[in-house]
Structure 1
Amino acid sequence: MHRALFVSEILVEIFVSLNQLPSSTIGWTQSSLTRKSLASLARTCKTFHELAMDLLWAYMPGLRPLFGCVTRLHPMIYDPKSKYSWSRCVDPLAEHEFHQFLRHSSRVRNIVMSTNTYIHLLAALPIETCVFPGLLSLSWMAQRTNPGDLRFFLSPTLRHCCVSELYSDLHHIGTQCAALEDFTVQGHADTAQLSEVVRSCKGLRRLHCAPLDSTAWMHLSTIPTLLEVKILASRNIRYPLDNLDFATFLNLSTLSFRGIEVEAVLALIHHFEFPSLKEFEMYARVLPWAEAEQLFRALSRCKASQTLEHINISSGSRIQGHSGDSLTAVRQFLCFKQLRTLRISAHHSIHLDNDLLFEAMTSWPHIRSLSLLDWHPSTITFRGLFTALRLCPNLYDLQVSVDVRNIDIEPEAESFQHTSLRTLVVGSSELESVNVEVVAHIIFSMLPAVDQVMRASGGVPRLWSDVNKRLEFLRNRSSSAAGRRIAGGVSDPN
């Protein structure tokens, strides 16, 4: 064996490279060839054994592979005729079998539990036994979980925990798992119980869960490591927050709400400061215009106005009318000088004109994605659009309404091209008396990276279908001409 393989750093790089997979393939789904290779390396020599075994057992799709190490259970598990329910009539592990089951459990770093079928086989294990002393990540999706099932998995080293619902075993997870950084509770949970669990966590970085009470929010504001909070309700609920004191989330960068009424979100924005907030997201089933205006105003007045880069506010339905001034509403966002993404679809329409679009782009020099759709006839013209685009060279996704009937630009006389924009979505409905060829030529000449124009409300009406067909024709003709020029240049001896 080459002496370089005795250098642990080199060996680690080789083995880790062998174990690396494409991003679309993870964990147990990795190729059998990779696992067989690691198993073969583990049997090759003592130098390879420990590292290969660590990688081989690092990820576990449940407990079945570990039970396969138990002499009594091995034939049942790996018998081709064995059924999924093989364990139902099997006695729990005896004391002399514990070491066989635990032989490799200390190597497990990531485990995904989709069923608790085999848990009863561990019934005789001493309650203080730490089955996975090195576990870093736990994903528990098992249904009908019994009290005590999770106790074997709550390792002091656990950093990431995702559960399908709030189980009684998690009551003091923050105390049992002091290293916990990421905690996700996917399903509905009692607010008081969930808040008590969250208050036991002292070093969280990310929290995804159902609504919390005021005491839990106050606790979260004291955690300096906290970076991300996402509150998700399965249905639109009224979520009162009382007795909030003023506090600061020093390092929180992401704040997201789904299914929560605006009143609760406003209470949080008014009572807390977010000096490091970069991303704000809110989805409501219905978001009336008056509440949307309150939300816009509150965001613009909080300290996060100097740091916010991504804002996404949306609702599941459009309001048929409103009495507010959408021009004034849009101006509430002009103070966000670091804005990269702004997507607003929380009401019937956001009305823009050339002047406001220009003012917005002047205020957002770093903007990369903008969605402000007006469902009424637009007053943004092509000249207003391209004048604004000159100010935002990094914009790649744009969703606005354009008055395509008003051709106020001559593409042959313009040298400007916006080469970054790739997605153009328009909100204008199908209109009569539109010059399809001129519209297509303008887009082709000045937005060369846009393959086709899409309509926000879904589907492609005849107008835009015709424009896209013309765009495809222009691109094909341009490609053919370029090919002929290249061919002519190659054959020309001069």
Structure 2
Amino acid sequence: MHRALLVSEILVQIFDNLSQPPISEILDTWLPSSTGKSLASLALTCTTFHELAMDLLWCNMLGLRPLLGCVTRLHSVVYDSESVYDRDWSEDVDPLVEHEFHQFLRHSARVRNISISATKFLHLLTTLPIETCVFPNLRSLSWLVQCTEIGDLRFFLPPTLRSCYHISEELQLDMKYIGARCPDMEEFTVYGGSGGVRLSETLRSCKRLKHLQYPPFDSTAWMHLSTIPTLLEVNIFTSRMIHYPGPLDNLDFATFLHLTTLSLSGGIEAASVVAIIQHFKFPSLKKFKVHVRVLPWAEAEQLFRALSLCKASWQTLEHIIISSRNKTQEHTSDSLTAVRQFFCFKELRTLRIYVHRPIYLDDDLLFEAMTTWPHIRLASFSNYHYISRLQELQVLVDARNIDIAPEVESFQHTSLRNLAVDSCELEAVNVEAVARIIYSMLPAVSQVIYSDDGVPRSLHNVNKHLDLLRNKPSSAPDQ
């Protein structure tokens, strides 16, 4: 054996690369993979390889079947060629007896990440003592079971658990286990259910929580979250339309000192988002994301105004994303005024506003915006299109009224590289004039793209003229 393989750092790197399975094997829930077979062979090669190869072999598990295959009585039925695809083979199998516990737990301490997508094997563990810690070193749990019997989670919640992804309509049955057994939880994601009433009780035990994704919860839980000093990200998601949370109107202000990301999406209503904005302070917030299914323009304006009024406690914001996919009624108010509501956020890198209504920028507003946001990288004002120190710009253009006054001093934006236009009137413009304007003012733009479906012939002509201007003997743009 080469001496380099005796260096633990080198050996770990080699084995770690080997342990990354191809996508085709990740999709297989339990069948032995080529990666697993290679690690098993390495574990049998020599004592130097054994422990590391075994740790990697058992590190990530999809279900309990591999551990059950270690039980002598179950080995043949687990790996029998006719039963491997039989989902009901375990129904007639008796639970483990005492002398089989050691066989089942032989490698469980090596498991770091596990995903449970069915409860069909859990009845085989019913005879295990209630205090048994099946996975003493588990770091991540994905519980993908809709219906959960009380106590099912107890074998999967060691004190070492840091990440828990849970799908269950009956979450309240399991909350007491999560809070009591996993005080060092850092990432807690719950998808499904209506927002367990036990959340506040659970979170009181999670003193190191950093990332939380959860259905809407009550005001007590909100207040408790504000006391967790490690909390960095909160994502509130609901798949159903819900007005929430009314009790916030009676709360005192709460401050989330270290929260950097707040995301509200799904069926939440705009009025509820405004209530959250008005009742909490986020002095460290960098990213604010809202997706509302239905967002009439009047409610959008209220949301923009509420944000601007909270600038004192939101002054660190770098990314604002507000979106709604459902079409709403026409609006008659000034959209330029709405954009100015965001001028108070001087640190903006990203601004994305999609409310299914176009927001046009005139020359003065665009100049004011770029001056106000010195760090802007990406902006979008309609149809999920991006305006990007500033490398991509997508805006609605009134091509019928392109007018560059000769007495006005020209400017150049040398960092803009991508320009997208969206105008049904592009066919009617002087394409040569458009190309010359772009070439003189935006020298880094190599071509113009059309943001709607289909590319008009005139746009090809604009890009053709751009190419001609770029290939002139003099490399300096015309002034």
The TM tier, using the shorter chain, reads: 0.7 to 0.9
User: CA offsets per residue over residues 186-232 of structure 1, 9 Å max, x none?
Assistant: 11324534444444433210111111111100000000000001111
Residue 398 of structure 1 and its aligned partner are, at CA, apart by 2.7
Matches within 5 A, 1:178-257: 178-190=183-195, 192-239=197-244, 240-242=246-248, 243-257=250-264
Q: Which residue, 448, 453, 456 being the options, matches 1:459?
A: 453
8 A Cα contact 1:172 1:200, kept in partner: no
Query: Does the residue aligned with 2:44 lie in a helix, a strand or coil?
Result: helix
Pick from 277, 283, 286 the counterpart of residue 285 of structure 2: 277
Distance 1:24 1:408, change over 3 A: farther
* CA spacing shift, 1:474–1:347, aligned 2, 3 Å: closer
Q: Residue 403 of structure 1 aligns with which residue? A: 398
Structure 1 residue 437 displacement after superposition: 5.5
Mapped partners of 2:82, 2:24: distance in 1: 31
**Aligned partners of 2:447 and 2:319: how far apart in 1?**
26
Segments of structure 1 that go 5 or more residues without pairing to the other structure are 375-388, 483-494
SS at 1:72's partner residue?
helix
Contact 2:261/2:287 (CA < 8 Å) preserved in 1?
yes
The question of whether the paired residues in 2 share the 8 Å contact of 1:426 and 1:453 is answered with yes
Q: Which residues of 2 match residues 134-173 of structure 1 at below 5 A?
A: 134-165=137-168, 166-167=170-171, 168-173=173-178
- Structure 1 position 339 matched with structure 2 position 348: yes
Q: Which amino acid aligns with 1:253?
A: T
Q: CA deviation at 1:338?
A: 1.3
Q: Distance in 2 between matches of 1:174 and 1:466?
A: 63
Measured at CA, do residues 304 and 435 of structure 1 come closer, stay the same or move farther in structure 2, by a change above 3 Å?
Answer: farther
Does the C-alpha gap of structure 1 residues 372 and 105 become closer, same or farther in structure 2, counting only changes over 3 Å? Answer: same
Whether 2:94 is the aligned partner of 1:97: answer no
Matched residues in 1 for 2:57 and 2:47: separation? 15
Deviations, residues 359-380 of structure 1 (Å, cap 9, x unaligned)? 0001112211111249xxxxxx
1:468 Cα deviation from its structure 2 partner: 4.6
Which runs of structure 2 are paired with 1:23-38 in the superposition (5 Å)?
A: 32-38=33-39
| 1:157 shift after superposition | 0.7
Q: What is the CA-CA distance between 1:248 and the residue it aligns to?
A: 1.1
1:213 partner amino acid: D
Q: Identity over aligned residues, as a percent? A: 59
Matched, 1:421 2:417: yes
Q: Summarize the alignment of residues 304-383 of structure 1 with structure 2, pairs less than 5 Å apart.
A: 304-346=313-355, 348-373=357-382
Q: Equivalents in 2 of 1:116, 1:399: separation in Å? A: 50
CA drift of 1:92 comes to: 1.2
* Distance verdict in 2 for CA 1:72–1:469, change over 3 Å: farther
Equivalent residues of 2:427, 2:456 under 8 A apart: no
CA distance in 2, matches of 1:139, 1:318: 36
The offset of 1:253, in angstroms, is 0.4
> Could you report, residue by residue, the CA deviation over 1:460-483 in whole angstroms, capped at 9, with x for unpaired residues?
3xxx4324544676789899x89x
Inter-CA distance 122–477: structure 2 relative to 1 (3 Å threshold): farther
C-alpha distance in structure 1 between counterparts of 2:439 and 2:71, whole Å? 67
Residue-by-residue CA offset, 1:51-99 (whole Å, 9 max, x unaligned): 1100111000111111111111111121111123221211111111111
User: Partners of 2:135 and 2:8 in 1: how far apart?
Assistant: 25
Q: Cα 1:54–1:355, aligned 2, differ >3 Å: closer, same or farther?
A: same
Deviations, residues 143-194 of structure 1 (Å, cap 9, x unaligned): 3332222111111111110111252122341221011111111113245344
Aligned to 2:476: none
Quick one: distance in 2 between partners of 1:124 and 1:94?
7
CA 1:272 to 1:417, structure 2 compared with 1: closer, same or farther past 3 Å? closer
Taking the aligned partners of 1:444 and 1:119, their CA distance within structure 2 comes to 68
CA contact (8 A) 1:174 1:202 kept: no
1:318 Cα deviation (Å)? 3.5
Structure 2 unaligned residues grouped into runs of 5+: 473-479
Partner-residue secondary structure (3-state), 1:241: helix
1:299 and 2:307 are equivalent in the alignment: yes
Partner of 1:53: 54
Note if 1:74 corresponds to 2:68: no
Please state how far the C-alpha of 1:102 moved relative to its aligned partner.
0.6
**Is the partner of 1:267 in helix, strand or coil?**
helix
Cα deviation per residue 1:245-294 (whole Å; 9 max; x = unaligned)? 22211110001111222222222222221111000011112223332222
Distance in 1 between residues matched to 2:149 and 2:58, nearest whole Å: 26
Hey, what's the Cα distance between the residues in 1 that align with 2:362 and 2:413? Answer: 21
